[in-house]
């Protein structure tokens, strides 16, 4: 990248008293004067060019680059930001997030350990480290870190939630349930904990699942994941109208939410409301023409409506999109066989 003389002069002054690692980081920082085809990034580049020592603009660009999955450049920016303020714990968290997504898990763990060493009493850093260990399937290490949190704060709901996540991943469902239940006792607004409790009880065919899903919705009436969990539970227990009503709420909140259109269409199909079913599959096809399920169920609806040619076309499209889609294969084969 082409650095301007101004930026190089500034960097030289900034890192004159820094460590060799800091100097190397500064040299590798993205150029503030680089021109991009992205107007948002261009604006951030200009902001850094205008105020190269301003921490917020450097963090903004690091965050944006991270969101765009430009991990290498994002890491350079956040590392440079740490040369400006090495005491800002949020920078360590951001750097660890980038490293984890950039398949630098060992470095991510070390970064969080630095944050903890800097602020030994800051529990969110411990919880983030526990989360990272969980993501890396190092459950024992995650539990060990969580226990450190509980040792410092026995009323920490997030710590019990993370315990539950680990126990669930280890297939220790009794301890998972106990942990999630303790979490919601301490914080009844933990929507994700209610949803997972619903999942666990539903898998055990325990009707308490319904109440847990309802609790999730009560804590967050506009949370699409909570609404979907409850709707899908009702759908699987043949409570068709309530399920359709909730899917409709989801699509009011998020008109692009594909599964709600798909499941609503399937529910209408189950009660022979072919017109309404087809309407929802058509909406889904407009939102995502590459959704093989939409084309398959559209074909099934056409076939049940005695529109054989439309059904055949839909099955063929579904198979072009997903060649191993067994239901579509079978449906098309049976349709072709019936024509002979």
Is the sign of the CA dihedral 61, 67, 72, 75 positive or negative?
positive
Q: All domains of the chain, ordered by start, with CATH? A: 1-86 (no CATH), 188-242 (no CATH), 255-340 (1.25.40.10)
**Angle at the Cα of 234 from the Cα atoms of 228 and 237, rounded to 5 degrees:** 140
Q: Which tens digit of pLDDT belongs to each residue from 53-96? A: 999 999 999 999 999 999 999 999 999 999 999 999 999 999 99
Q: Assess contact for 328 and 313: CB atoms under 8 A.
A: no
Q: Which tens digit of pLDDT belongs to each residue from 191-216? A: 999 999 999 999 999 999 999 999 99
Q: Which tens digit of pLDDT belongs to each residue from 302-329? A: 999 999 999 999 999 999 999 999 999 9
Predicted pLDDT of residue 27: 41
Which residues of the chain register pLDDT less than 70? Answer: 1-35, 339-340
Predicted pLDDT of residue 337: 85
Predicted pLDDT of residue 35: 64
Residue 336: burial class (beta carbons within 10 Å; 0-12, 13-18, 19+): exposed
Predicted pLDDT of residue 270: 95
pTM of the model: 0.83
Q: Which of 40, 108, 96, 95 is nearest to 68 (CA)?
A: 40
CB atoms within 10 A of CB 316: 15
């Amino acid at each position: 990248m082409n650095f301007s003389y101004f930026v190089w002069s500034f960097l030289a002054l900034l890192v004159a008293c820094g460590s060799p690692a800091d100097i190397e980081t500064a040299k590798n920082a993205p150029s503030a004067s680089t021109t991009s085809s992205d107007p948002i990034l261009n604006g951030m580049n200009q902001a850094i060019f205008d105020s190269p020592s301003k921490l917020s603009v450097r963090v903004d660009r690091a965050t944006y680059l991270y969101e765009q999955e430009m991990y290498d450049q994002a890491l350079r920016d956040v590392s440079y930001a740490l040369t400006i303020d090495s005491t800002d714990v949020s920078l360590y968290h951001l750097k660890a997030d980038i490293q984890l997504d950039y398949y630098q898990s060992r470095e991510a763990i070390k970064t969080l350990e630095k944050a903890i060493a800097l602020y030994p009493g800051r529990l969110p850093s411990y919880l983030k480290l526990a989360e990272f260990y969980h993501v890396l399937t190092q459950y024992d290490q995650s539990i060990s870190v969580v226990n450190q949190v509980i040792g410092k704060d026995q009323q920490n709901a997030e710590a019990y939630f993370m315990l539950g996540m680990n126990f669930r991943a280890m297939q220790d469902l009794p301890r998972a349930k106990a942990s999630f239940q303790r979490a919601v006792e301490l914080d009844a607004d933990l929507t994700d904990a209610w949803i997972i409790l619903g999942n666990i009880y539903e898998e055990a065919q325990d009707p308490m699942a319904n109440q847990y899903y309802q609790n999730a919705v009560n804590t967050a009436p506009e949370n699409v994941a909570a609404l979907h969990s409850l709707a899908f539970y009702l759908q699987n227990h043949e409570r068709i109208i309530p399920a359709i009503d909730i899917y409709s709420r989801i699509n009011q909140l998020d008109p692009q939410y594909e599964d709600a259109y798909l499941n609503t269409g399937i529910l209408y199909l189950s009660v022979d409301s072919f017109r309404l079913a087809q309407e929802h599959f058509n909406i889904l096809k407009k939102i995502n023409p590459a959704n093989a399920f939409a084309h398959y169920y559209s074909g099934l609806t056409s076939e049940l409506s005695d529109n054989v040619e439309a059904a055949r076309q839909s099955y063929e499209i579904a198979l072009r999109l997903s060649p191993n889609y067994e239901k579509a294969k079978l449906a098309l084969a049976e349709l072709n066989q019936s024509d002979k």
